[in-house]
Each structure stands twice: as structure tokens, then as C-alpha cells.
Amino acid sequence: MADSAVFNEFANVLKEQAALVKKLIQLERDFTVSASNDNTDNLENLVKNSQPDLLNFRGLEKKRTKLAAQLGWKGLRSSQILSQLDSENRDILEPVFQELRESLETLKSAQDAADRIMKIRLTDVNTAIAGRPIPKAFQDTLA
């Protein structure tokens, strides 16, 4: 195994990513509520305020990839990395990988809900542009 300082930095980057994903989950939920309420001003603010977090996540991912390469783990999945570790280091990384995996799954679900609402709102806009009344079933719908 490579330098323990690099390993520790890798673990810290994963922890930072997990914390940031939790922020992004809340952001996606806020998108869903704002879109459901047809609150375009809040949607605009959410998009603007999300940019630093998205850029931060991108930077953390680049750092994680670089550190993984330094540790000889380039292109490896978390299970493959864990299989190469001694029990002490596995005990450090396993819960972090698990937290990150669960957070990413929750983020995906939150994004799917926001996408459904946005599609409904786009249908409403297209219907309004076409001059047809918006069906009541699609008004004020929460995903």
C-alpha cells in the first residue's frame, strides 16, 4: 500500500463527497417542491446557489481519482479496493463507501422526483403555449 497520508486524504475526500451529496439531496428536494409550487423565482435561486456545490463535487471527484491512482486503485470499484486492504484500513473505508453509496442512491431518487415534476411543468407550459387549458390532474401535483 502507498503512503498512509495519501490513504487518509483519500478517506477524507470520500467523507467530504458524502457530506456534499447530502447537501445535493436537499437541493433536489427543494427543486421538487419549488417546481411543484410553480415557484420560478425560487427555482432560479436554487440553480444559482447550487453551482458552487456542483463545482466542489466535481473537484472532489477529480481529487479522489488522482488519489486512487496514487494508491494503485485506478479504475477499481469500492469492493475491489476493500478486498485489497488489511482489516484496519478496511474498517476505515468500508463505512465511508457505504455512506457514500447510500447517499448517491438517495440523490438519484430525489433527482428522479424532481425530473418528473419538471416534465409535468414542461407539459403545462407546452399546453399553455398551444392555447389549451391545463388539465386539473396535472396542476399542483407533487411527485
Is the residue at 135 inside a domain?
Answer: no
Asked if residue 105 lies in contact with residue 117, where contact means CB atoms within 8 angstroms, the answer is: no
Q: Which domain holds residue 124?
A: 4-129
Grid cell for residue 27? 437541493
d(CA 84, CA 101): 19
Question: Per the structure, how many domains does the chain have?
Answer: 1
The DSSP symbol for 139 reads T
Is the residue at 62 inside a domain?
Answer: yes
Q: Give the CA distances from residue 112 to residues 17, 19, 31, 107, in Å, rounded to whole numbers and listed in that order.
A: 20, 20, 11, 9
Would you write out the chain's pLDDT as a tens digit for each of its 143 residues?
A: 448 999 999 999 999 999 999 999 999 899 888 888 878 888 889 889 889 999 999 999 999 999 999 999 999 999 999 999 999 999 999 999 999 999 999 999 988 988 888 788 778 777 777 776 656 655 555 44
Is the residue at 138 inside a domain?
Answer: no
pTM: predicted TM-score of the whole model, two decimal places: 0.77
